Each structure stands twice: as C-alpha cells, then as structure tokens.
Structure 1
Amino acid sequence: MFMSLEKQPPGIVERVEIPSRFLGETREIHVYLPHNYSPLYKYPVLYINDGSDYESMGRMISLLNERFQNRQARRFLVVFVPVDKSVRREEYHPAGSKHQAYVRFFADELVPTVEERYAAFPMGPARGILGSSLGATAALHTLLTYPRKFHYLALQSGAFQDASYEGVTAKGRELATVPIYQVVGLQEDRFQSASGKVIDILGQNRKMRDLLQSAGVDVNYAEYDKDHTWGFWQEDLSRVLDHFARHTSF
C-alpha cells in the first residue's frame, strides 16, 4: 500500500505506567512512536481500547510500521490501552461498576500523562479514540462524557446499549463537529455473546448511525459481509488509519 525506495526502520513501542486514583491501581499503556518521531513537532494521538488485542490479533504494530514506510504519510502517535479481561465489562459497559472510573482515568489521567511525556497536540481535534465491540461502546461514552476533549471516534462493530442511544439523543448536537468512522458486518445480526445471549449487532449499529446522522454528525458508515471477529477488524484497520489521518491534519 505504501512504497518507499529506502526501507525505513520500525517504530518504537514504549511502556508507561500510570498510577490511577480513579481506578485505585497502576495501569500500563503502550505508546507507539513512528521511527522518525521528534519532540520538535506535535502529533495527533489515536487512543485504543482493548489495546493488547489490537497489538496482537489486530497486528497493528506491523500495519503502522508498513504505513510509515511512506515518507509522505502523515505521522501520528498511537496509545494502546490494555484491559484486564476479568474486569472488561465492568469498565467498558455503561452500567458497569467501574465504568465511570475508567472514563475518568482515560480523560483525566491517561491523556495528560501522554501529553506530558510526548509531543502530542494538546487539543481535542487531535485526539481520537478507537474501539471494537464493547470497546467501541466505551469509546463512545468517553466522548459523550468529554465532548470537548476528544474530537474523533472510530467504532468497529459497536455493542451499543440503551444508555448509548440515550446519550447520543441527549448530547448528539455536541458531536456535530466530530468525524465518526463506523463499520459493522452483515453477518453480525445474530452474534452470540459469551453469556449465550443472541445480539443483533448489525441492527444496533444501523440504529446508532441513524441517531448520529439525525444529530448532524458526519458518519463515515459502511457494512461488509463479515462477522464479529478480529479477522474483520484487522482487515479494516488500514481504512480506520486513513480516515483518522485525513481528519486530524494540523
């Protein structure tokens, strides 16, 4: 996809520990820096829920390294935010016992730490969030809670809840300037969750798209003949990164 006459070195992934008073523990994040990162410049930042899964099953480090082989490709930083699977629902689900604490950690501790340590644009339009399934739901609710702090959203097969629709209905007008990338698979109409519940992810995403568009939000929406798996999301990531780069130009 991206070609260069001279092969560029890979980027660097740094591990950073963040003591969180909201979560009551220390959380580790992984920060991807392009090979030619320089503190003399300022970079947009894409924050990612389920960070470890995007690194491993999403193969995102390799994708970023390939992308930045092109010297003209717009550089940005990527922050992978891992989650303990045993508390994932409690942190990501809007009704989860740790959800509000996680959202506050994300906006009030994670972002300031990244911007203190790295040359990141300290502005809402330069901050984006990506997530898949329930991680997409958490991304949406983080933006709904902090609409001035984040101005970009990428949603892969969001597992939206009633609270998600209510939040967009109540605050949708505040998102009118937020570019949103949203994809879902046509085979996700009967997704079976770990609890055995059958969920119409496809229908949920169509409803969310309609609500966002009715609020005047610019939604780049697409459906593919795919199912609720990492194979789909990994294949889609190059489109996500293209969209993010186009909408966070400084």
Structure 2
Amino acid sequence: MRGLTDAGPDRGPAGAQAVITAATVVAAVALFAAACGTGGTGARDEGPAHSDSVERAPAAKAPSPNPSQTYEKVDAVALVKADPAVSATVKRDLKPCAGTEYPVDVTYGDLTGGQLDDVVVNVLTCGDAVGVGAYVYRREDGSYKNVFKAEESPVYAEIDKGDLSVTKQVYEKGDPVSSPSGENVITYRWTSGRFVQEDFHHTDYGNAAGGDATEDPTAAG
C-alpha cells in the first residue's frame, strides 16, 4: 500500500498517464481475445481476401516451334514431267485418276545432306496403285536434280533411317498382280555424291527361302 500512497498527488500528471496507458493495454488484450474467440483467424474471419486484390504475373507462354528451315514443298507432277531422266512411258501415263488427283506419293527427308530436304517421288498406277517409277531429287544450285531413278515396275522407294530403301515386287510366270512370289529390298546410302548399295534382302512369299539378287535399279549420278 505504501507504493500506492507515494504515487499520490506528488506525481499527478505521470500517474494519470500510467493509468491511461495501462487501461489501453487491457482494452487491446480484451479485443484480441474476443477476436480469437470467433474462430482464431482474426480479421480474416470477415471472409477470404479478394483474389483480384493481388496482382498476378502473366503465365509464361511456351515458345512456338519454328517451321522447318530445310523443307520446301514442290509440285511433284511438274517435276517428273519436266525431268529428262524420266521415261516417256511414265510421263505419258502420268494422268489424273479422279479430278485433279495424280497417282503420286511424295516424301521429304534428308538423304544426301543438302541444305534442303530431298524429295522422293513414287509414280503409281490409278487402278491398283502399282509403282511404275521411283525418283529422288536433290536441291542443287537453285533447282532440283534427279540423283536416283528406278523404273523396273513394280517398284517403290522410301526413306528408312536416313537411307534410301527401294522395294521391288518379284513375279513368277503366271502370278497375278495382287500376288507376287516375293520381293527384293535394296538399301542405298549417299556416298561421294551418289547412291551406293549398302544392303540387299530377298523374301520369297511361297517358302520364305532366299533367292538370287535381281538387277539393281539404276542410280543417276
């Protein structure tokens, strides 16, 4: 009690200030306790913060793939018809099957290591899609040059893991067009400025036995 008595009139202004400060602290504690009693989230009990009040950075966009720098679409029909290496028979028979649709298959890919993709063109028949000519064109000095041709029908050329694969159906006497006796698959690789045979494989459909190699398709150098 002595302490309270000593804090009497002699300390009037300071004592009053201490009392006010203590009352303020008590009130603040009471308010804090009341807020905790409503759910323990304080001011957030009024509701979640508005999402539009937070500025979000725009999502990063994935870069768009660049178009191929080595691909150039060609008019395969015009290319074949203007090619002096293509036989007159193939050119004469190369006509639309229906409307403006020509019987040609065109494949683009790297076979010769040029700046632009090489073009593999297969000319087929309209009725049964038998290959009558297979050609490879390489871009050189601003134009396409014939670097391979095979016209021993039926024949078909395609790109296989960077090599040129040529398939030729083998018919025995009396075989219908739909049922060849076997096939020869010849693989070529671009070497020293020309296609060189790398592999030869024969399949006999009748007894699965190997056969003799047939004459290779002609490679234009």
TM range, normalised to the smaller chain?
under 0.3
Structure exhibiting the larger radius of gyration computed from Cα positions: 2
Q: Larger strand proportion, structure 1 or 2?
A: 2
The structure with higher relative contact order (CA 8 Å, sep 6+) is 1
TM-score, normalisation: structure 1:
0.24
Alignment TM-score, normalising by the size of structure 2: 0.26
**Richer in helix (by share):** 1
